[in-house]
Structure 1
Amino acid sequence: MTGEPNLIPAPRRLEPTGGSGPIGDTVVCRVDPLLGPEAYRLTVAADRVEIVGGDDAGVFWGRQTLRQLSGPDAFRRAPLSREPAVVPYLTVEDAPRFAWRGLMLDVARHFLAKDDVLRYVDVLAAHKLNVLHLHLTDDQGWRVEIKRYPRLTEVGAWRPRTRLGWGEPELWDERPHGGFYTQDDLREIVAYAAERHIRVVPEIDLPGHSQAAVAAYPELGNADAVDTGAPGVKTDWGISPHVLAPTDAVVEFYEGVFTEILEVFPGRFVHIGGDECVKDQWRESPTAQARIAELGVGDEDGLQSWMIRHFDRWLAARGRRLIGWDEILQGGLAPGAAVMCWRWYTGGVAAAEAGHDVVMCPQQEVYLDHVQSEDAGEPVPFGWVHTLEDVYRFEPVPPRLSGTPHAAHVIGTQANLWSEVTENRARVDYQVFPRLAAFAEVAWSTLPHPDKRDFGDFDRRMHEAHYARLDALDIAYRPPTGPHPWQQRPGIPGRMHHKPRRTWYMA
């Protein structure tokens, strides 16, 4: 197919097991819309290799399956040998369960270089995941160039030091940290991802998680409630009280931000955050209280809903669609908005039953910054334990929705990696893999009830082939036997949760 990356190196020929000789270098690809979006049929026979896709994306996913069949070395950047690859005779007919199969990378807390993001686009493609959600702004950093507001990156992209881990003892890395993507950097990422049939969804947080923006432009904050001046970019973790002021000037400012965002990101969905908005400053601000009365929205939750609804209408008028974390349900949800459910399943269930589309990514199941085992050597343990098996048994559609018309509103699922303690590529790799492989199978396949899934078979397949593929991709994953000594971070404090896991399914 024209425009497809060369995933099967041309010098490597494909030879079916039991065949009498090589079958040549040509893989015939064509599109048959009757198969449906992203579906494909792969046929390997003695006289041909054919991939038929329901669309170009389906052809691409079929090529990924052929790549898997060609052996782990097919995942290297260049072939190790000119000997033919041995591929069995087979026919594979396959289609994804969900249209949204995503990974969120938080590049705001710790910045990832452009090349590292491009590398993860390739990693997502290899696992048939089709959404890269980039968390671009937060209290600890603003990572996207906005030309009309240069101080967002001149000031907001840099912090003087960084908290190491969580809890006690309080430790600090005294080196400045920061970075940002130019708009051309992001256009490159978007184009690179589009070649691999991956959509990039930008997240620009409002009205909370905005301290870096307020540090750059103090007039965005609630000056009549806070008289200490610009707060500076946040250097530790947790939720900041510095939220955006609910004024027309602030709304106009962010319309300018989103105008430039839409020029860079052509996809339908735009993420506006909407989570963890601490409303103490609004309660103390005469301006905010007057705005509540003027708008007749009742309280601070209504004020947040007013802002969310404004940007829902603003995006819809430009052919885009708002998505936000499940707190955007508070005070009433804009009719066209979609919900990304992260707090258990409650918000996602309520949104789906109200007719809103939902992406399920509950922190109790698929937050990959959470610790992978009870092993004392796990680096900076945080959150609940999410083992590889736990992720494999994750079910995106909760029992209350299963079998009802509302289940169709679960348009997909996503794994999230927050980066407070993943300060470089190796740490990102360790937290993401091998669990993302289990998540990818859950997101693509229609699997049995979680209690009936054959994790033993999945684990066998990991050991027989997939760990070798990850090695070929140079991914610094967590070994099944536990972290290597160089992957540990002794002395850096963590923060563990000790509540029962998977209790949602028993509800």
Structure 2
Amino acid sequence: MTTIPAPSRLVPAGGHFVLTAATRLTADARLGRAAAWLREALGPATGLPLPEGPGGIELRLGEGLGPEEYRLTVTTESVLIEAAAPAGAFYGAQTLRQLLDPAAFRAGRTGDRTWSVPAVRIADAPRYAWRGCLIDVARHFLAKNDLLRYIDLLAAHKLNVLHLHLTDDQGWRLEIRKYPKLTEVGAWRRESPRGHVRHGLLDGRPHGGFYSQDDIREIVSYAADRFVTVVPEIDLPGHTQAAIAAYPELGNLGTPLDVRTEWGVGENVINVSDETIAFFLDVLEEVLELFPGEYVCVGGDEVPKTQWNDSLPAKERMRELGLRDAEELQSWLMRHFTDYLLARGRKPLGWDELLEGGLPAGVTVAAWRGDRCAALAARAGHDVVVSPFAETYLDFRQADGDQEPVPIGSVTSLGAVHAFDPVPAGLTENERGRILGAQAALWTEHIDSPRLLDYMAFPRLAAFAEAVWSGRRDFEDFLTRLATHEKRLDALGVEYRPAGGPHPWQRRPDAPGHPVSRAAIDDKLAAWTANLRP
């Protein structure tokens, strides 16, 4: 069988179940969403109506199963999906679709064919509850319809979290009613770097876009129907130049700024006044109205302290509060936002730099700087989402050589992603339980179109999905299954990276990158984490 991700247990049987115009689809009322999705997904390509009623495919409540677990039994006479909850039934339906010809993934009929499913018994459940993908829409905006398409792609691979990086120095992408300049001013920049910033090339082309609040409601609803939770990120207190450009009083310099047109870590951070804190609490109030999920990310990463160290009001705030340094000032500032979310019944998520100044209980850590940060967070009693940049950042180049488009970072190969294990070595059983799961990341400084996003994401995102769903480590078997899976991606119009390297039109000789060695990445990682306290 060629399903991706591979199921936990699969036993082939003899024969096939053939779908015909007489095949019916029935479901327990609690599993109706999965049944509706299956009918909508298969209808356009197969032309089969799958009317309600017994006599073919059944979605039935099953006992002793977890919320995302399912059993799929196909005989020559019937198809049975058993699940205890709607999500499990949905994942069973996704597997059933993969057992059909790849043409089942097309949006319309391509000719007459026999639609059949091989007889099989599958028992399947995920290793991790958090199976996510971050998409950075702040650096390069992804139009709503393209984002909805990616939600379908995540769901097709049994990924269940979309982390939306909505704000950064280079753009603010979320409508906030109380502060309209965040999108009127902050949602566009004059131009962008062309290739890596070290080459000093700019494209001279304005870039922008944002999601209206109704867009967000649509996106969240669409995702929920596919059992994907959208986690918004409002990055604080750094990565905030777009917000400061819109409202200069949020900054430390007292002078107007433009939305940033360079990549990298910017010096401009918000100030620590009561008014600025109130401003972003207002922002979070509207965020909570739009995103009903448990988690809200408040950033906390890559915060230069230069402006605070030079700011008289910041120094006075530190003196008033008895804080030793700007690291503790950041912790004090961020507690306003994490405490606010906790008081509202939400779970704040923040990047692992928050560990450096002390982190209150109840904050979940997104560990991007390697196993050491993930282990420290787990040992400190925090839930952890693992996202190590050297293993799961899919903006890193996929191979050596100058053929890769805008090559940056070290090589993150398909095999390395497939071999990824979220749990750091040396944790106790209790500490291992703190690892909620993992997420891949598509940072878009150098990904300026949906076509390039496809190239960087796939097939590596399929390998990542297998790592966090079943954790099967047989890479050769994965490659065998991938040969069929690529036909599904073809049917969906996904412009993935071919195994032999990019097509000519997927290359970017006009946008030079800056590849580095894995040794250089490891040295940088060691420097970043050298002073972390256990």
> Which residue of the other structure, out of 242, 248, 269, is the alignment partner of 2:274?
248
Alignment of 1:92 with 2:122, yes or no, is yes
Distance 1:497 1:397 in 2: 26
Map 1:404-419; keep pairs closer than 5 Å.
Answer: 404-419=429-444
Residues 317-355 of structure 1: CA distance to partner in whole angstroms, max 9, x if unpaired?
111010011011121011110000101122111000111
Question: What code does the residue aligned with 2:486 have?
Answer: Y
Map 1:296-311; keep pairs closer than 5 Å.
Answer: 296-311=322-337
Question: What code does the residue aligned with 2:114 have?
Answer: P
Distance 2:465 2:521 in 1: 19
2:33 alignment partner, SS class? coil
* Deviation at residue 502 of structure 1 after TM alignment: 10
Which position in structure 1 is the counterpart of 2:459?
434
Residues 149-174 of structure 1: CA distance to partner in whole angstroms, max 9, x if unpaired?
00000000010111111144321111
1:172 alignment partner, SS class? coil
Map 1:52-201; keep pairs closer than 5 Å.
Answer: 52-81=82-111, 83-201=113-231
Please tell me whether the aligned partners of residues 12 and 82 of structure 1 are also in contact (alpha carbons under 8 angstroms). Answer: no
Which position in structure 2 is the counterpart of 1:18?
none
Question: What code does the residue aligned with 1:9 have?
Answer: G
1:500 alignment partner, SS class? helix
Alignment of 1:471 with 2:490, yes or no, is yes
Map 1:426-465; keep pairs closer than 5 Å.
Answer: 426-447=451-472, 453-463=473-483, 465=484
* Deviation at residue 287 of structure 1 after TM alignment: 0.5
Please tell me whether the aligned partners of residues 308 and 334 of structure 1 are also in contact (alpha carbons under 8 angstroms). Answer: no
Gaps of 5+ in 2: 1-30, 524-534
Which position in structure 1 is the counterpart of 2:41?
7
TM-score norm. by structure 1 comes to 0.93
Distance 2:176 2:55 in 1: 46
Q: CA 1:503/1:278 → structure 2, altered by over 3 Å: closer, same or farther? A: closer
Residues 483-505 of structure 1: CA distance to partner in whole angstroms, max 9, x if unpaired?
0000001132211221339979x
Please tell me whether the aligned partners of residues 139 and 444 of structure 2 are also in contact (alpha carbons under 8 angstroms). Answer: yes
Question: What code does the residue aligned with 2:91 have?
Answer: W
Distance 1:25 1:183 in 2: 43
Question: What code does the residue aligned with 2:407 have?
Answer: P
Residues 3-50 of structure 1: CA distance to partner in whole angstroms, max 9, x if unpaired?
332223285569xxxxxxxx9974211233520120000111122211
Please tell me whether the aligned partners of residues 170 and 259 of structure 2 are also in contact (alpha carbons under 8 angstroms). Answer: yes
Alignment of 1:390 with 2:432, yes or no, is no
Question: What code does the residue aligned with 1:150 have?
Answer: P
1:35 alignment partner, SS class? coil
Q: CA 1:493/1:25 → structure 2, altered by over 3 Å: closer, same or farther? A: farther
Please tell me whether the aligned partners of residues 169 and 493 of structure 1 are also in contact (alpha carbons under 8 angstroms). Answer: yes
Distance 2:521 2:185 in 1: 42
1:163 alignment partner, SS class? coil
* Deviation at residue 75 of structure 1 after TM alignment: 1.1
Alignment of 1:495 with 2:514, yes or no, is yes
Distance 1:28 1:221 in 2: 59
Question: What code does the residue aligned with 1:174 have?
Answer: G
Which position in structure 2 is the counterpart of 1:315?
341
Question: What code does the residue aligned with 2:425 have?
Answer: P
Please tell me whether the aligned partners of residues 197 and 262 of structure 2 are also in contact (alpha carbons under 8 angstroms). Answer: no
Distance 2:265 2:439 in 1: 23
Alignment of 1:214 with 2:244, yes or no, is yes
Distance 2:443 2:463 in 1: 19
Distance 2:207 2:426 in 1: 44
* Deviation at residue 233 of structure 1 after TM alignment: 0.2
Question: What code does the residue aligned with 1:391 have?
Answer: V
Distance 1:230 1:339 in 2: 33
* Deviation at residue 312 of structure 1 after TM alignment: 1.5
1:323 alignment partner, SS class? strand
Distance 1:123 1:86 in 2: 23
> Which residue of the other structure, out of 402, 414, 422, is the alignment partner of 2:447?
422
Please tell me whether the aligned partners of residues 269 and 320 of structure 1 are also in contact (alpha carbons under 8 angstroms). Answer: yes
Please tell me whether the aligned partners of residues 378 and 431 of structure 2 are also in contact (alpha carbons under 8 angstroms). Answer: yes
Residues 48-103 of structure 1: CA distance to partner in whole angstroms, max 9, x if unpaired?
21111131000000000000001211111234345431211111000000000001
Please tell me whether the aligned partners of residues 331 and 354 of structure 2 are also in contact (alpha carbons under 8 angstroms). Answer: yes
Please tell me whether the aligned partners of residues 351 and 358 of structure 1 are also in contact (alpha carbons under 8 angstroms). Answer: yes
Question: What code does the residue aligned with 1:445 have?
Answer: S
CA RMSD of aligned residues (A): 1.9
Please tell me whether the aligned partners of residues 243 and 281 of structure 1 are also in contact (alpha carbons under 8 angstroms). Answer: yes
Residues 107-164 of structure 1: CA distance to partner in whole angstroms, max 9, x if unpaired?
0000010000000000001100000010000000000000000000000001011111
* Deviation at residue 376 of structure 1 after TM alignment: 1.8
Please tell me whether the aligned partners of residues 242 and 258 of structure 2 are also in contact (alpha carbons under 8 angstroms). Answer: yes
Distance 1:358 1:126 in 2: 25
Distance 1:26 1:262 in 2: 43
Map 1:231-270; keep pairs closer than 5 Å.
Answer: 231-270=257-296
* Deviation at residue 313 of structure 1 after TM alignment: 1.2
2:131 alignment partner, SS class? strand
Question: What code does the residue aligned with 2:42 have?
Answer: I
Q: CA 1:503/1:12 → structure 2, altered by over 3 Å: closer, same or farther? A: farther
Question: What code does the residue aligned with 1:406 have?
Answer: E
Question: What code does the residue aligned with 2:453 have?
Answer: V
1:371 alignment partner, SS class? coil
TM-score norm. by structure 2 comes to 0.88
Gaps of 5+ in 1: 15-22, 448-452
Distance 1:69 1:390 in 2: 27
Please tell me whether the aligned partners of residues 372 and 387 of structure 1 are also in contact (alpha carbons under 8 angstroms). Answer: yes
1:181 alignment partner, SS class? coil
Question: What code does the residue aligned with 1:360 have?
Answer: V
Distance 1:135 1:178 in 2: 15
User: More displaced, 246-255 or 137-146?
Assistant: 246-255
Please tell me whether the aligned partners of residues 73 and 81 of structure 2 are also in contact (alpha carbons under 8 angstroms). Answer: yes
Distance 2:68 2:108 in 1: 27
User: More displaced, 134-143 or 38-47?
Assistant: 38-47
1:134 alignment partner, SS class? strand
Alignment of 1:280 with 2:306, yes or no, is yes
Which position in structure 1 is the counterpart of 2:426?
400
Distance 1:398 1:301 in 2: 26
1:41 alignment partner, SS class? strand
